[in-house]
Amino acid sequence: MSRLKSWWSQSDQFDWVTTFLRQRGLIRSAQVILAIVSASAAWVPLTVLATRRPSATSAIIGVLIIVFALGSIYFWLTRWPTRRQSGVAAISGMLATGGWSLVQPSAAFAALICTALAVTGGYIALFHSPRLLMLNGLVAAATATVAVSRLAKEADLATAAAAFWLIWYPNFSVPLIIWGVSQAMATYVERAEQDPLTGLLNRRAFTEAVASRLVNHTAAHTHLAVMMLDLDDFKQINDTYGHSAGDRLLRVVAEVLREHSPPDAIVCRAGGEEFLIALTCTADGVAPLASLFCDAVARHPSGVTVSIGTASAELNLLSTADGGHLIEDLIAVADSAMYAAKRRGGNQAHQSTAS
């Protein structure tokens, strides 16, 4: 029951899957694939309208499906949807498919149409939440029940039972397989982005997270601040107490940084005994936070201290085409400021303003 509850409460996957595709240069390939899927959705209604005389209701729904499919082709080839647009498209597709099945004069053809809901189910399983997937399942169940009941009367019970299985097999297995793949992707992304010792982001994931934050930050914030933190005399700790003690200390410091960082801060282990923190803030919000980190680490019973270098830049400068390079420049400035803090004796913060 707890696993079912955990599955049901999972959030929408659209944003992280989109980020995964975009970071790996796969957005265009995904657009082309989804445009091809949309084109295939128009094929059956086009064939039916060209070769039969459907009822007025069936013809109207068929035309709407064709128009929707053609519009989807254009949309997928020209842009990537927002999460809301994607959800609306999925719901429209499932309702149109279910509705077209219900108005078919042939029970066998109506049952065949129900299998197409596996396509919307698979899309939802990859991009959206279990709740939306459940809605697709309910539409499939309702339309399949109607179609199979009609088929039992038109043919026989064995044919209806076989049709029911043929409907549910793809509608169950396709979303299940795709959902399993999406969970494997999520696990891969999480592990690929984490530092295995501390559980913080690694350096590559940090840079990507900062770039993403620049397009989605608090409206009142005007600057991006980057802090480079380095443990003082860490080599001596390793030499005296061993690397296991050093690893434990790194985990302790990581936990301290998590505990005292603002909710929207991005925290990373940059390598060795170095940590990076980035956040958007106001111009005067950097220095107090750096002092807070210094004091929090120094108060820990381990007795370790940190030297912190901070750098900040106006957000409007980082939103340009060269924003990625400017972020790296900001990290370099913070690194230099950190070494300045070390030269002054450590256990302190030194601030440098990039702009």
Gap between the Cα atoms of 10 and 130, Å rounded: 7
User: 159, 193, 227 — which closes off a domain?
Assistant: 193
209 and 342 part of one domain: yes
312 and 212 part of one domain: yes
* pLDDT band at 185; cut points 50, 70, 90: confident
Give the count of beta carbons closer than 10 Å to the beta carbon of residue 1. Answer: 5
User: 171, 193, 215 — which closes off a domain?
Assistant: 193
288 and 168 part of one domain: no
Does residue 94 lie in a domain region? Answer: yes
65 and 175 part of one domain: yes
C-beta of residue 67 within 8 angstroms of C-beta of residue 90? no
Range of the domain at 118: 2-193
User: 193, 228, 253 — which closes off a domain?
Assistant: 193
Cβ-based burial of 92 (10 A; exposed 0-12, middle 13-18, buried ≥19): middle
C-beta of residue 306 within 8 angstroms of C-beta of residue 261? no
Domain count along the chain: 2
> Among positive and negative, which fits the CA dihedral 50, 55, 60, 62?
negative
Does residue 139 lie in a domain region? Answer: yes
Does residue 36 lie in a domain region? Answer: yes
176 and 110 part of one domain: yes
Give the count of beta carbons closer than 10 Å to the beta carbon of residue 217. Answer: 17
Does residue 79 lie in a domain region? Answer: yes
* pLDDT band at 28; cut points 50, 70, 90: very high
Segment 204-229 shows an average pLDDT of 82
pLDDT digits (tens, 9 = 90+) for 104-138: 888 999 999 999 999 999 999 999 999 999 999 99
The residues annotated as belonging to the active site are: 273
Give the count of beta carbons closer than 10 Å to the beta carbon of residue 237. Answer: 20
Residue 169 three-state SS: helix
207 and 167 part of one domain: no
Q: Within 13 Å of residue 53, how many CA atoms lie on the same side as its CB? A: 0
Does residue 250 lie in a domain region? Answer: yes
Segment 156-161 shows an average pLDDT of 90
Mean pLDDT of the residues in the chain:
87
276 and 149 part of one domain: no
CA distances from 168 to 14, 85, 126, 150, 249 (A): 25, 27, 19, 17, 54
The per-residue pLDDT for 251 is: 93
Gap between the Cα atoms of 185 and 246, Å rounded: 32
Does residue 198 lie in a domain region? Answer: no
Does residue 163 lie in a domain region? Answer: yes
pLDDT digits (tens, 9 = 90+) for 301-346: 878 899 999 998 888 776 654 556 778 888 999 999 999 999 999 9
The angle that helices 117-127 and 157-193 make with each other, rounded to 10 degrees, is: 20
Q: Residue 282 maps to which CATH number? A: 3.30.70.270
16 and 131 part of one domain: yes
223 and 273 part of one domain: yes
Gap between the Cα atoms of 346 and 343, Å rounded: 7
DSSP state for residue 322 in the 8-state scheme: T
229 and 149 part of one domain: no
Q: Which of 263, 291, 256 is nearest to 279 (CA)?
A: 263
pLDDT digits (tens, 9 = 90+) for 197-216: 998 998 888 888 888 777 77
Q: What percent of the chain has a predicted confidence (pLDDT) above 70?
A: 95
Does residue 112 lie in a domain region? Answer: yes
140 and 54 part of one domain: yes
35 and 106 part of one domain: yes
